[in-house]
Structure 1
């Protein structure tokens, strides 16, 4: 093992001559000591795994901190070592990286119970505040896949292979690490579908054994074409596409093996961008071009930063090939993806700031308009400014930035959203309008009696939440309008001493162009149809002398004896609204103004606005019903003058609280050295409750005057 560690040092020295060998040795020794006598499934000492991961990271040409993280990445999860130990010996940067890899490993364990592997991909992308965490995790997965054949359980091998092909291979492609992606996919493919892989591999072998050409011969001919075009020192190489890539394309395009035109891909690497297009012209001039196979990823790079020209040709010896043309720098990005930027975009440093652009790259990836362009066989969606939260069971919920617990509840299930009453965020009870952050655990508290509030629509951000709230509100409004309209019509017929039956209303439904009886009731409740119009439609000819006086506005005494139309069960903001001028409370005599399309606005019977209203036919006498809901709060408005003394406002609010009132708003209308004048809104159960609050305030020695507005 010590020889392998020396090989690791050699690789790091090659990438960075200033490598800190002493720190690396300490990390290696820490790893060996922490894992002790632990063994892998192969029977090898466990520390051979983190050493192999570190070697993979060194091959990616990553910085020293990342390589050390590779050595230490399993110590916190699998040994007695702590993050404090790592931070003390290797610094905060490496401790944070190890912590990030540990969290991803814990999430990986949860993913076995998660129905959609998509969630983990998005979570990993969102939670990687430092992209090196993901690079370590990918290297870890690569070595685990290389040694997966040592795992005895076939079910576990297949589960790991499926997770790799669904999650880690797409992540590798996201970051432009094509070789890593290809190897992960090919190993996983061989485990998940060994027969299909063997079939594709056999066809490839047969193809090359019976071909009239060799890969080397094609490379020689392409080099000849480039030399004739005066393109010097171009590097040409060829590679066979992996069995999984070929099989996937056969499935995706539904074609046979023989119909594929890009089983072989040849790469031309030149020095400059003009030479790239010069080389393209040379090969297009020398060989037949396959229609529809040219793609320019230089002028329009892929979302993961990949740049190259792709073209399909009938090449040397009538071979169907794909040719990729790029510069040396483009080739480094294509080979190493995000990892390449440590060498080509940034200097080697240890403050972490050089990785900020990588987080920006993830944002670019998340904004990509066409994920199929670089992810053919998965449904990895693109997100911008997402937050990822958890249910108490560990299930992942993805939401847009600015989402609230209500958005979260609707994302879980529409009925949970409809009945949410409260939410705990990370164990603490928080307001429903609280904005969620990445990694929050959200527990939704529901009640069968809870209904969506029209105010929710003001702060929810997801389309699902907004559409469900609007749909529920529309449905509930219709029910409320229908119930209100039915009560209004019953009361109107009773006042006119007329009988009311559904049979009598049928001609009126058709005449007034209402679809059904419920539509008729709802139109009355909403104010688009008056009870007067309905009665005249039911009795169009007879008894006119009876109708006219009875349809006039009833006197308050008559209304009081009949009780008025009950508003019990109707919800504020739907079929009715409480007027802000007089703030009616249960126990007050009330009337309503029917407003077209808006239902009823409720006023106290002595409200000046009500008295000044010019259309008596739109004024409706109302009653509160049998009993007010104890849970429902109403707003009573008070006007008070009290002494301007230290603690006066505190005494004032304490007197209200002692009676169970709750201040919802305070407005200071005047303040002098001697007195405060305020208008205060208090949440109470009814008028009697407000009177108790008034009495409590009047007992204060600081109170000059207080009265209900």
Structure 2
């Protein structure tokens, strides 16, 4: 029900600054750029709001009406129009008081009622997580912004005043509100070009969320060394003098970076405070764009610029309409000094962003500013995307593509959106979809084009993962994934696969050893197996088998214990030989159990033997390897192995190649190896003189036949004098 109110009487309110409280007087003074009749409407809005909020107080104990009036004052400091200020004063009335929308429309106009209604819907927002509820609220906010961007200006001012008076809240509420401010509202202010709002929201949020860190950095900024302060005075004087000599009309303003800005740079670049040198800077504001470039020439003539630190945001404005020239000078005492050069209009837009469009101008005029145009375009794009979005959560992720550039937002084939850190790869995306998808990934389609799993992704790309049942994680994957989920899943799967392979190999090795004793694992009584496991503290048989494969237990000794054979001599002679006669076949894909010796680099097709090594499992050597003679001294550690028919993959090999030492010889050899479809891992010179060079090529081949093909192709080259496998 609408409370009774006195009718608006212009005669009775001839002077806006009449008998009103101090906080209203401050608002009306701040809005002195408005004509008297509009300021009287402001006073009337206060009267209506005060009556509607009568009896309500804030947590600090002040009358509630002081808050909406303070929000209006924040907006008046930005020079906003009367309608926005009136809506700010009344922005909480629909939600918390009996005052109705129709009453506001009758007294203050449909535009004000629309603004108040839009802000009221926003006041229900609580960005505590990224779930559907928050996303739906965020969608409503974007829709309200699309109707009139002044809705978000009021909401940002409301949040700014709440942050200024955060002390009355509990510690938990302070942290929640501060995190919400840093994650949602400050980025929106930045996206809309409102740097003054953004900077204060960030600083207040930082102070509330990390009070100790804020205090330490703020103190360090205040107590900069005297030599740095002297340098700043010297630079300011030199720049002002040179600009005056060149007759460039300008306004030179020194500035100090905020604690949040310094903290963000320290964290992003992993630097200490002492390493973040450009805490101080200057802003040069001139009349025209031509003067900007003239001033830039003067500045660079005064102090040398740092290479690669110049940015021209006038020719290429930022997405939020921000325009300026940025350069970093090498100042006296070795300190880098940041300088921004812009026109008065650019400075206004840089500070106020879209708010500059509604700043009161005595001459009128409704032409939108560049920030306004860009903001409207951004919002229009968002509204278009929300029409096609299947859910509010997807819409929220669409928005965050712009608000959070440190993340990339990617589409699945079904149109769902996944957020990943910057530099995320197609493999990270696969694991973000599902662990099983990642574990069986073989390639990706990025925007319809085939791409390897290590491809880095950019926001907006559509990614499809190609899988195969036989595919499995590789240790190399850990070198390029960036997400914790992918890294953890890969490690877990590799460990699981190593364990499974170890159990399988260990089973075969124990079976061979038992067969040599005229027994088998199936024929050993279960009680005897359980007794052995209990005695040696194995929870399951699989753990024992894995330990055998890894060389931590010798299969012959375990077999003797299980078969109850007292000594090696008790074995029948014929059965002793079957260990070497019956080979264990390997594919080369047995992870963590089978490794290939670097001394002889066996490849499929070579005659091989295995040596059982503690902790490493079976190390595979070629039978003609020079080191095999030493291993003959420990026949109990020999393992008879051979190649399975299903061998596939790449195996390391090395070639010693003698070539004429002339330009292009190395390139010819490399090309011949590539034509044989072999990868080159490494090339190094073994010997070199004026006529002959001896090189070692480390390559990858599929088998002995593939290696022979590589050797044959290289030997045909005129520059090659000799080639042999190492």
> Normalising to structure 2: TM-score of the pair?
0.49
Hey, what does 1:21 align to over in structure 2?
39
Worse-superposed segment, 120-129 or 199-208? 120-129
Which residue, out of 224, 228, 240, partners 2:245?
Answer: 228
Whole-angstrom CA distance in 2 between matches of 1:413 and 1:178: 29
Whole-angstrom CA distance in 2 between matches of 1:306 and 1:118: 28
Deviation sequence 1:171-191 (CA, Å, 0-9, x none): 111111112111111111011
Quote how far apart the aligned CAs of 1:230 are.
2.6
Whole-angstrom CA distance in 2 between matches of 1:120 and 1:252: 31
Hey, what does 1:10 align to over in structure 2?
29
- 1:266 and 2:282 matched: yes
Hey, what does 2:358 align to over in structure 1?
342
- Distance change >3 Å, CA 362–CA 388, structure 1 → 2: farther
- Distance change >3 Å, CA 251–CA 134, structure 1 → 2: same
Structure 2: runs of 5 or more not aligned = 1-19, 400-410, 419-459, 468-726
Whole-angstrom CA distance in 2 between matches of 1:187 and 1:400: 27
- 1:326 and 2:342 matched: yes
- Distance change >3 Å, CA 290–CA 346, structure 1 → 2: farther
Deviation sequence 1:513-559 (CA, Å, 0-9, x none): xxxxxxxxxxxxxxxxxxxxxxxxxxxxxxxxxxxxxxxxxxxxxxx
The answer on whether the counterparts of 2:80 and 2:360 sit within 8 Å (CA) in structure 1 is no
Whole-angstrom CA distance in 2 between matches of 1:99 and 1:212: 50
- Distance change >3 Å, CA 305–CA 209, structure 1 → 2: same
Q: Give the 5 Å matches for 1:515-530.
A: none
The answer on whether the counterparts of 2:306 and 2:329 sit within 8 Å (CA) in structure 1 is yes
Whole-angstrom CA distance in 1 between matches of 2:89 and 2:327: 42
- Distance change >3 Å, CA 121–CA 357, structure 1 → 2: farther
SS in 2 for 1:66: helix
Which residue, out of 324, 328, 337, partners 1:308?
Answer: 324
Which residue, out of 211, 231, 237, partners 2:228?
Answer: 211
Which residue, out of 215, 218, 221, partners 1:201?
Answer: 218
Whole-angstrom CA distance in 2 between matches of 1:209 and 1:182: 26
Deviation sequence 1:245-265 (CA, Å, 0-9, x none): 111011112222222242112
Hey, what does 1:169 align to over in structure 2?
186
Deviation sequence 1:218-257 (CA, Å, 0-9, x none): 32222012123232x3110111110011110111122222
Whole-angstrom CA distance in 2 between matches of 1:287 and 1:355: 38
The answer on whether the counterparts of 2:321 and 2:371 sit within 8 Å (CA) in structure 1 is no
- 1:255 and 2:271 matched: yes
Whole-angstrom CA distance in 1 between matches of 2:48 and 2:204: 31
SS in 2 for 1:289: coil
Whole-angstrom CA distance in 2 between matches of 1:344 and 1:413: 42
Quote how far apart the aligned CAs of 1:207 are.
1.8
Whole-angstrom CA distance in 1 between matches of 2:55 and 2:222: 44
Whole-angstrom CA distance in 2 between matches of 1:464 and 1:360: 26
SS in 2 for 1:98: helix
Hey, what does 1:41 align to over in structure 2?
59
SS in 2 for 1:238: strand
- Distance change >3 Å, CA 358–CA 262, structure 1 → 2: closer
Deviation sequence 1:119-153 (CA, Å, 0-9, x none): 866763454120000000000000000000111x1
SS in 1 for 2:63: coil
The answer on whether the counterparts of 1:27 and 1:71 sit within 8 Å (CA) in structure 2 is yes
Whole-angstrom CA distance in 1 between matches of 2:217 and 2:313: 29
Quote how far apart the aligned CAs of 1:104 are.
1.2
Worse-superposed segment, 244-253 or 336-345? 336-345
Whole-angstrom CA distance in 1 between matches of 2:368 and 2:244: 40
Which residue, out of 117, 120, 136, partners 2:154?
Answer: 136
RMSD: 3.8
Quote how far apart the aligned CAs of 1:22 are.
2.9
Whole-angstrom CA distance in 2 between matches of 1:252 and 1:324: 22
Whole-angstrom CA distance in 1 between matches of 2:95 and 2:383: 31
The answer on whether the counterparts of 2:231 and 2:333 sit within 8 Å (CA) in structure 1 is no
Whole-angstrom CA distance in 2 between matches of 1:283 and 1:359: 31
Whole-angstrom CA distance in 2 between matches of 1:25 and 1:320: 50
- Distance change >3 Å, CA 120–CA 345, structure 1 → 2: farther
Hey, what does 1:61 align to over in structure 2?
79
The answer on whether the counterparts of 1:177 and 1:338 sit within 8 Å (CA) in structure 2 is yes
- Distance change >3 Å, CA 399–CA 158, structure 1 → 2: closer
- Distance change >3 Å, CA 38–CA 312, structure 1 → 2: same
Quote how far apart the aligned CAs of 1:209 are.
4.6
- Distance change >3 Å, CA 356–CA 81, structure 1 → 2: farther
SS in 2 for 1:236: strand
The answer on whether the counterparts of 2:354 and 2:372 sit within 8 Å (CA) in structure 1 is no
Deviation sequence 1:66-108 (CA, Å, 0-9, x none): 00011000111111212122112211111100011011112x1
Whole-angstrom CA distance in 2 between matches of 1:283 and 1:464: 42
- 1:81 and 2:99 matched: yes
- 1:179 and 2:196 matched: yes
Whole-angstrom CA distance in 2 between matches of 1:267 and 1:104: 36
Hey, what does 2:309 align to over in structure 1?
293
Quote how far apart the aligned CAs of 1:159 are.
0.2
- 1:284 and 2:300 matched: yes
Q: Give the 5 Å matches for 1:451-530.
A: none
Whole-angstrom CA distance in 2 between matches of 1:466 and 1:222: 51
Deviation sequence 1:648-704 (CA, Å, 0-9, x none): xxxxxxxxxxxxxxxxxxxxxxxxxxxxxxxxxxxxxxxxxxxxxxxxxxxxxxxxx
Whole-angstrom CA distance in 2 between matches of 1:358 and 1:277: 22
Whole-angstrom CA distance in 2 between matches of 1:322 and 1:466: 40
Quote how far apart the aligned CAs of 1:111 are.
4.7
Hey, what does 1:385 align to over in structure 2?
384
- Distance change >3 Å, CA 253–CA 65, structure 1 → 2: same
- Distance change >3 Å, CA 225–CA 344, structure 1 → 2: farther
